Amino acid sequence: MHWFTPKLPQYDPLKWREWDFSTRARAACRSWVTEGYGTPLFVYIFYACKMALYIAGWLLFCSITPTLGSVSDLASWWLHPLAFQKALLWSFLFEVMGFGCGSGPLTGRYLPPFGGMLYFLRTGTVKLALLPKLPVLGGTKRTVWDVLIYAALLAVLVRALTEPTLENNVLLPVVLILGLATLADKTLFLIARGEHYVVMTLVFVLANSSTEWIAGCQIVAASLWFFAGISKLNRHFGPVVSVMVSNSPVLPFAWFRRRMYRSYPDDLRPSRLAQVMAYLGTALELSVPCFLLLAPPGPWLDVGMGLMLLLHIYITINFPAGVPLEWNVMVAYGAFALFWGQPAVGVTDAGVLIGSVVLVTSLAVPLVGNFRPGKISFLLSMRYYAGNWPMSVWFFKGTSYRKLHQNLTMTSPWVADQLEAFHNETTTQAVLSRAMAFRLMHLHGRMVGRLLPQTLKGELRDYEWLDGECVAGLVLGWNFGDGHLHNERLLKIVQDACLFEPGQLRCLFVESQPLFSNQQQYRIWDACDGEITSGMVPVSELADAQPWDTSGLNSKIES
């Protein structure tokens, strides 16, 4: 593994740019099998240091809390309810500052490696207001009011972290200001991990005692694991396991990576071994909440904690897409603080009010999101790393992508320009080719080649391919797997500012597969001319395809 330079593929990345789609995809995906991103060691050190600073921040805020104690006394207070509350609020702050999920090189952020404060404290940047026509807080560009609300959110979180106790006069402003920030830009609610950190903070506010909020948080935590398992009851997770193992820094063995596929290099569907690993992973996620909720104190609860640690350690050391490393640490710590450290508290202690609130936020909302994925974010639906997330690919003709920087206020240069600050053109194109492979290797990515003739107005070599995740990172200041952030709504905002001509910007949007359905929706749009076509594709057909297939889909065209 190289220290600073990505490992180059066997093919010539500069010649790769001129090949047709099928040849490009075949070369890049075969390279992914044994090399993944080819990530240099320095990148992993960067994330490990960031995670260490995250833990150090929690220790700092706890050490200045008189009722907890110094770091040297950690063993006596690390499971204290107040220590958990400080951990949650610190995680909340860490994310909204832009240092958590969706940051760094593994998410297409090279220079700068963070968005967050660099973006949300700057007027004129693009936002997705919850109610676009709302006076003062609506619109599509960040105003002074938006910046002040975001700054106020940071301030009240810092205040809460430095208080000796957490009463409602400290916590309620966090919830209220986050509500205003969400009206101004729904992206901020997702960054704050609304389904987790925000709901638990609301539970703190509503509780009459620590027993009530601990029980309420137990329900929220159990829902995170449960719906993460439910979301994998489809055919998407097998390819996810293959893709993740191929990019794992702890499983660098080419022979083992090849075993994740049926018959490398010609058949890159997941192997039986990968499918078994997917089944075991799903069973593990579903079993953890059952053990933690139902097992009495003693050996069975210890088994549940062991399974939980196995799950989150494996996820963390594999540096999954979006690199939610700190979030995984917080979830694992929460299991100790809420279940193992509070064996006398059960979910029935939550009370009627808190029980009703968390049943809506942590049961009803995820259920609707799984059956009607187009209506609710995959984060609020708790479909974590299941491969079944909405996605998009944006195709800019020629140098038309430069209109983004000419007409929009962004904190990051074009992704290739960021890379060229560190690498030569060959290495830059190698990294971009692997980003394309990552998308195609997932199940819904196998639509792309088959839909290219309908999507592009010309040859692929005439276009710059950019994943919608990177577009969201450039234009919205944050990206983390939620295709709803870079769908038709963002395209309209971009078009209103940039005025692309017909054929200059084409987008392929793909929605998540609904739970227990065999259909997945796609839409093809031209930035200037609007929708070109849309349809539904059988997921079973995608499961039988190769990433480089270009044969037509048996899709049902929608009116």
Query: How far apart, in whole angstroms, are the C-alpha atoms of residue 355 and residue 435?
Result: 43
Band of pLDDT at residue 327, cut at 50, 70 and 90: very high
pLDDT of residue 206: 97
Contacts 24+ apart (CB under 8 A), 158-164: 158/93, 160/89, 161/61, 161/86, 161/89, 161/90, 161/93, 162/61, 162/64, 164/65, 164/66, 164/67
Q: What is the DSSP string of 331-393?
A: HHHHHIIIIIT-TT--GGGGHHHHHHHHHIIIIIHHHHHHHSTTTS-TTTTT-TTSS---EEE
Angle, helices 210-230 vs 325-335, to 10°: value is: 130
* Cis peptide upstream of residue 112 (ω within 30 degrees of 0): yes
Q: What is the pLDDT of residues 428-455, one digit of tens each?
A: 999 999 999 999 999 999 999 999 999 9
The mean predicted confidence, pLDDT, of the chain is 95
Q: Which helix or strand (DSSP H or E) is residue 434 part of?
A: helix 425-441
pTM (predicted TM-score) = 0.95
Extract the tokens encoding 238: 């097998």
Q: Where are the domains of the chain?
A: 391-557
Q: What is the pLDDT of residues 181-212, one digit of tens each?
A: 999 999 999 999 999 999 999 999 999 999 99
Q: SS3 string of 196-236?
A: HHHHHHHHHHHCCCHHHHHHHHHHHHHHHHHHHHHCCCCCC
Q: What is the pLDDT of residues 68-121, one digit of tens each?
A: 989 999 999 999 999 999 999 999 999 999 999 999 999 989 999 998 999 999
pLDDT of residue 553: 61
How many C-beta atoms surround the C-beta of residue 498 within 10 A?
Answer: 19
pLDDT of residue 559: 38
Query: How far apart, in whole angstroms, are the C-alpha atoms of residue 98 and residue 480?
Result: 11
